[in-house]
Structure 1
């Protein structure tokens, strides 16, 4: 279980790492956006407003932080299992 939590948490973080590390900046293809601007995506089709992109980044940041929490929980469970196993051997 500890391995699964660690792997899932790490994957969640790395998928959303840009949103976590980006802070409050809102970007469109690496360029900073300002309120009132739109981001056009040619690959996905359609466009996204500044507010929508800010909301998407906030959600990605939340998922990234949850991933950090899951990874840390996995590490704690793994360490506690190791400590318990060591105490049983005494």
Structure 2
């Protein structure tokens, strides 16, 4: 019985954390291969200057950064899916045990 409770808690955590990860990183997921600097498209050889951070980043560095962030967005989708699967399996197990 305790295992079922932990699985239900884990499912809730995954269903909450997964979409949060996705929506935090949704811009990188939706952009595809486009590289942007403050909403403006970048081309190879360009630099992105940030006034708040005080630094500048090359096109290649920004592309690597966006690819890394995109992975977190897709991981969020996977975690949410796993949470839904745990909920469904918990429901199936509950119905079978009540018979």
Which residue is equivalent to 1:71?
Answer: 80
| 1:32 matched to 2:53 | no
- Mind listing any 5+ residue stretches in structure 1 that lack a counterpart? none
User: Scaled by the length of structure 1, what TM-score is found?
Assistant: 0.96
User: Scaled by the length of structure 2, what TM-score is found?
Assistant: 0.87
Q: What stretches of structure 1 move > 3 A for 4+ residues in a row? A: none
Larger Rg: 2
Residue 86 of structure 1 and its aligned partner are, at CA, apart by: 1.2
Q: 1:35-56 CA distances to partner (integer Å, 9 max, x unpaired)?
A: 0000111111111110010001
Alignment of 1:49-60 (within 5 A): 49-60=58-69
Alignment RMSD: 0.7
